[in-house]
Each structure stands twice: as C-alpha cells, then as structure tokens.
Structure 1
Amino acid sequence: MDIEKLSSGTCPISRALALVGDAWSALILRDASRGMTQFDQFRTSLGIAPNILSRRLKALTEAGVLEKRRYSERPPRDEYILTPAGTDFLPILAAMGEWGRRHNGAGELSQLVNPATGARVEAVVVDRATGELLSPANMRLEMPA
C-alpha cells in the first residue's frame, strides 16, 4: 500500500486511513481515550508485540494524533497523550463501535455511557449543518474538478 499516495490524494477517507487506518492504531486510540498513557499499559491491554506497539506509537505521534511526553528521566520513560486531533477521532471510534455492535454484536459487549447520567450512548453520524442522520439517500461523494 502506497501510504504517500493515500495521504496526499484528494480523498479525505484515504488521508484519514493513512494516519489511523489499521486496527492496532484504532485500538491504541481507544485505550488512550480510556486514560491509558504508558507503553506497558497499551501492551498489556492489547496483547500487542512490543515492536509493533513501538511502530504504531511512533506513527501516531508523527501523525499528530498522540503527543509523546517524558515523565521519568531515570529510567527514561515516556507517556502518550491524545492531541486535539486524537480527541477529534474519538467520535469516529464511537461510530465504528456502533457499527460493530449492529453487525457483529453477538455476546456481551462493552458500551459507551454518558458520565453525567450513566445512560448508554448510541453514536450516530449527522450532518452538522442540517442535523440529519447521514445515509446514502442524503450524501454523495464529489471529486474535485
């Protein structure tokens, strides 16, 4: 896959996928949204090989989705904090979770809840201008001329 071509083309979906388009990256961002910041926390939660985790954290940091901060000099230890771009990705993860619940939702599943009310959150994608739920009936992709 030509990441350079994906990240510079006219399609915003391919540009997004170039930054966070693999399962490990999305799951790291999910865990970061749950308050995990340290390498070992991510490794334990995900069961990911350390070399793969290192590469994904580096890529997410270079993409500006996570920020690497040193929290210990001796021994040197870093933490990974969501940037505003990373925080902006969280509703996308919520929508992906709803899709997964609907189309692959057998068994016991975690759920999003509103921390103020405790009520289950059902993520949907809406048009900001109209408030309408997005569907094939009210959207189409137009390419630049």
Structure 2
Amino acid sequence: MARKRFDDSNCSVARALNQVGDWWSLLIVLQAMYGTRRFVDFQQELGIAKNILCDRLARLVDNGVLKKVEVGEHGSRFEYRLTEKGRDLFPVVIALRQWGDKWNPAPDDAPLDLRDRATGQPVQTIQVHNADGEPITVRDVFVADAQTPGSKKDFA
C-alpha cells in the first residue's frame, strides 16, 4: 500500500514530515548542524549508501532545507549548507534529542551535554509555553476551528 502524500494537507506536521521526516533526512540535517558540509563526509559520518545520500541531499536542497554551494574549480566540488529554513529545524532536532534521551537513552553512554556557547550553561529542556510564558502540556491546548468561529476540538 502506497503512503498517502500530505503536500496539500491542512496538517502542518504532515507537510513538514514530507520534507524532512524520514530517518536519513533528519540525520543529514543533524550532521549539517554539526558542521558537516561535503558529500563524502556525510557518507562517512552516517554510514549511508551513496544512492540514498544523493537522493536525500537532492530532496533537502529541493525543499530549501539545504543549499548546494559550489566551492571547487569548474564546479567540480560542492558543499551542502543549512538555509534559514534548515536552521529553523534546530529546536525540532533538540526536542527530538531530549525526548530520545529521556525515553530511549543509550545504554552505555551519557546523553550529549549541550551547552550555550556564550555562557557555558546547559541547554534547558524544550517546552511549549502559553502567552504568559507558563509551560503547558498537550492537555492544556485545544484546536480552534478557523472555519467555525467559537468552536474548538480537544487536542489530546
């Protein structure tokens, strides 16, 4: 059975996952955040097959998450760099890392100790806040129906 495409869906999550939601794409984005730029380095760091890497890089470039920059003579060398759209995935990647550290920690290793470059302080756990800056959970929100003003649907 073919997977349904959600390019035109009203669901932002489904549309976002169409662009960056598969295993390799998010790992490529993470490596780009670590500073990886060259095809060979992505391949070495991730242990990914060339054809899969080529496909995912092309898709990330097509979707505006990465840009392909010519860095060699006669266009023979390229680097892949995060765009603003790609850099905006930073909180998503950090939230996913924090979720994974909590619910599926590495058995033999401590989680990465992420720290603020300017202060050296640990990065706080990502939370969703209400308009007053108070942390909220899935139980504290509802979906307002833009088509029917005043109506609402529980989120969880």
TM-score by length of 2: 0.83
1:57 paired with 2:57, answer yes
Shift of 1:142: 4.4
Deviates more, 1:55-64 or 1:122-131: 122-131
How far, CA to CA, are the matches of 1:128 and 1:72 in structure 2?
Answer: 48
- Tell me the residue number matched to 1:111: 113
Letter of the 2:32 partner, please give it. A
Shift of 1:120: 2.2
Deviates more, 1:69-78 or 1:32-41: 69-78
Percent of residue pairs identical: 36
Report the count of equivalent residues.
143
Higher relative contact order (CA 8 A, sep 6+): 1
Distance of aligned partners of 1:128 and 1:58 in 2 relative to their CA distance in 1, 3 Å threshold: farther
Shift of 1:127: 3.2
Letter of the 1:113 partner, please give it. R
How far, CA to CA, are the matches of 1:111 and 1:27 in structure 2?
Answer: 18
Give 1 or 2: higher helix fraction: 1
- Tell me the residue number matched to 1:15: 15
Is the Cα contact below 8 Å between 2:130 and 2:136 reproduced in 1? Answer: no
> What does residue range 1-145 of structure 1 map to in structure 2 within 5 Å?
1-3=3-5, 6-74=6-74, 76-105=76-105, 106-108=107-109, 109-127=111-129, 129-142=131-144, 144-145=146-147
Deviating above 6 A after TM superposition, structure 1's stretches of 4 or more consecutive aligned residues are none
Is the Cα contact below 8 Å between 1:124 and 1:133 reproduced in 2? Answer: no
Bigger CA radius of gyration: 2
Q: Please give the per-residue CA displacement for 1:24-54, whole angstroms capped at 9, x wherever unaligned.
A: 1111111111111110111111000010000
How far, CA to CA, are the matches of 1:87 and 1:7 in structure 2?
Answer: 21
Letter of the 2:42 partner, please give it. F
**Which SS does the other structure have where 1:137 is aligned?**
helix
Structure 1: unaligned runs, 5 residues or longer = none
Q: CA RMSD in A?
A: 1.8
Structure 2: unaligned runs, 5 residues or longer = 148-156
